[in-house]
Amino acid sequence: MFVDTASGSNGTGGNLTIETENLRVADGGQIGANTFGSGKAGNLSVQAQNIELSGGAFLGPSGLFAVVTPGASGKGGNLTIATERLQIIGGAQVSVSTFGSGDAGNLSLRATEVAIVGTSPGNSSSRLSANVEQGASGTGGNLFVETDRLRLTDGGQIIANTFGFGDAGNLTVKSQDVEIIGSSSAFAPSALLADVARPNATGNGGNIIVETDRLRIANGAGVGASTFGIGNAGSVTIEAQEIEVIGEGEPGTSFLATTVIPGATGQGGNLRIETGRLRVSDGGQIAVSTGGDGMLAN
């Protein structure tokens, strides 16, 4: 189900609004409001009591999309979700990324409970994303999640990365309880990430802001803003009553970090933590580190 701005067009796309009790998108099904041309895309709004996004097919993942496609210069639309329960499993996605020169729209999710779990058979993580993809020069959108309970497990991710020339947007999570646990069978960590994600990426990374009563990171999962490239990494700010960073997993230790990866020339971001109780144990790490040529922040 799509309401797209076609290639070669300069008109504004229409909005797509879905209101239903239960919404299930599976086996490669997609709902989108994308732009393929110079015209601005419309907005996609979904209101449902329960939303399940599951799996994918040969042509791509199941999910909800408001994307600026390759070669498009039009601005992407906003994607807004309001639900009691959102479950994203098996490599399904919700995305407001840009692959072109047009700026991406914003992604706003308000829910009572959010669970993002696992990967596809091809090891693509189930995720919410607001990326600047490889070769894109448009600016990434902001990603905002407000929920009572957020669970990222078995490789599930929320990401606002730049792989290209445009700057990424910010990733903000407001939740009473956040658990980020484990990794996928292909060793992709469950994570909140805002990375400059390729060696030749020149865009700057966005910031991560988490406001929660309780943040638990365990079994190799993490929260991080890193630069692998030329662009500067964003900052990570955590405000929580209680934080736990615990244990190790197959890809490595549980982490809360800003990092300059070996070979990168971009500068690292700040890491700021405000909490009443902090527990780091069993190999978990909180770090501001550099293995590259870029300078560290605080």
DSSP one-letter string for 161-222:
-BSSSSPP--EEEEEEEEEEE-B-TT-PBPEEE--B-STT--SPP--EEEEEEEEEEETT-E
Residues 5 and 12: their CA atoms lie apart, in Å, by 7
**Of the candidates 173, 162, 248, 175, which has an alpha carbon nearest to the alpha carbon of residue 205?**
162
Query: Is 0.85 surpassed by the pTM of this model?
Result: yes
pLDDT reported for residue 18: 96
Return the structure tokens found at 30.
């997609």
Return mean pLDDT, the chain: 91
Strands 285-290 and 191-193: unpaired
Residues 221 and 226: their CA atoms lie apart, in Å, by 15
> What are 221-275's pLDDT values in tens digits?
999 999 999 999 999 999 999 999 999 887 789 999 999 988 888 888 999 999 9
Count, residues in the chain: 298
Please tell me which residue, 265 or 178, carries the higher pLDDT value.
178
pLDDT reported for residue 11: 54
Other Cβ atoms within 10 Å of 174 Cβ, number = 17
Is residue 57 within 8 A of residue 93, CB to CB? The reply is no
Q: Check residue 98 and report its DSSP letter.
A: B
- Give me the percent of the chain exceeding a pLDDT of 90: 76
> What are 11-49's pLDDT values in tens digits?
577 889 999 999 999 999 999 988 888 888 889 999 999
pLDDT at 3 over 70: no
> What are 42-91's pLDDT values in tens digits?
899 999 999 999 999 988 999 999 999 998 888 999 999 999 999 999 99
Q: What is the CA radius of gyration of the chain?
A: 18
Residues 126 and 155: their CA atoms lie apart, in Å, by 7
Residues 77 and 67: their CA atoms lie apart, in Å, by 8
Buried b (16+ CB within 10 A) or exposed e, 13-51: beebeeeeeebebeeebbbbbbbbbbbbbbbbbbbbeeb
- Tell me the longest C-alpha to C-alpha distance in the chain: 56
Return the structure tokens found at 162.
């730049």
Is residue 238 within 8 A of residue 275, CB to CB? The reply is yes
Residues 24 and 35: their CA atoms lie apart, in Å, by 24
